[in-house]
Amino acid sequence: MTMTSMRRSAEPVRTYPDGADAGLSFVIPLYNEAGGLAALHAQLIESARQLRERRGLRCEVVYVDDGSRDATLSIAQSLPATAFDVQVVSLSRNFGKEAALLAGLDHARNGALLFMDGDGQHPPALIDTLVSRWLDDGYDVVYTAKAHRENEPLGRRLAARVFYMIINWHARQKIPENAGDFRLLSPRAAVALRRLPERNRFFKGLASWIGYRQVRIDYEPAERVHGRSSWNMRALIGLSIEALTSFSVAPLRLASMLGLLLAFGAFIFGVQILIETVVFGRSVPGYPSVMIGLMIIGGVQLIMIGVMGEYIGKVLSEIKARPVYFVAEHSMKTTADDAEQADGARTAAE
């Protein structure tokens, strides 16, 4: 077993041909997806065959195992390269989905990229539609979004709405609401994404920020058949904070506005006390008002310090320039290798 580090560096930017000649790489991060991985792979094989027959589009799949604790890695390494080449990238530990997406981006060999989850909720039947909007309609970024959130709890729907309101507040390039990681990038869009050097990454935001022609496709996520989602409320809150502080300065602006609002409220309160004391001669109780004022000021200051601390932490992370991930194992099967193994098996059987 070898361990290599991957570091974002100023390497020459790869160039690819346009259209079907560029090929298509499926990039699929995996975390404890042993139960449904074989079924997903079979669906991808069928999609790759159709793309090759109808459009002459060569494909490959890049599975990125993000430190799974079950048999995901061994299953991924045993999958056949029937209709496309299969790369399996195993990270040295769980670095998170953003790092896994970056690892897939770094290892993909074809020009166009199609990112999708490994839990089976991104329907492979939609792949042909995404490819059609790229090749036939000329879009560079074809992204999908949930058609609705009616089946989700009310609290989660409200939290999602607040998140998008904050992150898109005064943003020059807004992130489409309810958009997911299931999206296709043309060769030039993929090259642009590779040129972004930051280590604290928010994939959905970066894919929107690069621009080019983008189109949205609404879809209904499939039911999760195998395993359990690791995205509980605590993880989603952490992801939201990570996304906001990595991609937007809206929290800093909100903290500034909160400070201005508090200062304005204190000014009004001070004028009121002055009028009551000088004009009406009333005695204003001091202890309750002072205590409430101190608690409000202290709370706001702590909020501002916390927001600034999040951004300072991001700056420190960028300055340290640590690798985003480490690769523990990397294997690749080609369709030629798979054909040779099949011929050898037939010969042995004869």
Going from N- to C-terminal start, the domains of the chain cover 4-247+323-349, 250-320
At 345 the pLDDT is 41
User: CA 181 to CA 116: how far, in whole Å?
Assistant: 6
Dihedral, 149, 155, 156, 159 alpha carbons, nearest 10: 110
Helical (H) or strand (E) element with 64: strand 59-65
Q: What is the number of other CB atoms lying within 10 angstroms of the CB of residue 141? A: 23
Whether the pLDDT of residue 300 is over 70: the answer is yes
> What is the SS3 assignment for 210?
coil
Indicate whether 76 pLDDT > 70.
yes
Q: What is the pLDDT of residue 62?
A: 92
> With bands split at pLDDT 50, 70 and 90, how would you rate the model's confidence at 259?
confident
Nearest to 128 by CA among 54, 29, 42, 63: 54
> Model confidence over 201-214: pLDDT tens digits?
778 778 888 888 88
pLDDT tens per residue across span 13-38: 666 667 667 788 999 999 888 888 88
CA gap 178, 151 in Å, rounded: 14
Asked whether the CA dihedral 36, 39, 42, 43 is positive or negative, the reply is negative
Chain center to CA of 238: 13
Higher pLDDT, 342 or 280: 280
- HSE of 28, CA atoms in CB hemisphere, 13 A: 27
Contact 37, 76 (CB under 8 A): yes
349 pLDDT tier (thresholds 50, 70, 90): very low
Q: Cα separation of 84 and 147, whole Å?
A: 31
**DSSP helix/strand/coil, 43:** helix
Q: Is pLDDT above 90 for 114? A: yes
Which residue is it, tokens 């009616």?
Answer: 150
Round to whole Å and give the CA distance between 162 and 158.
6
Residue with tokens 């008002």: 289
Higher-pLDDT residue of 70 and 290 is 70
- Judged on CB neighbours under 10 Å (0-12, 13-18, 19+), 273 is middle
Phi/psi region, residue 19 (left: phi>0; alpha: psi -120 to 50; beta: rest), is left
pLDDT band at 348 (very low <50, low <70, confident <90, very high): very low
Question: What CATH architecture is 4-247+323-349?
Answer: Alpha-Beta Complex (3.90)
174-196 pLDDT, tens per residue?
A: 777 777 788 899 888 888 888 88
CB 43 within 8 A of CB 118: no
Query: What global pTM score does this model have?
Result: 0.70
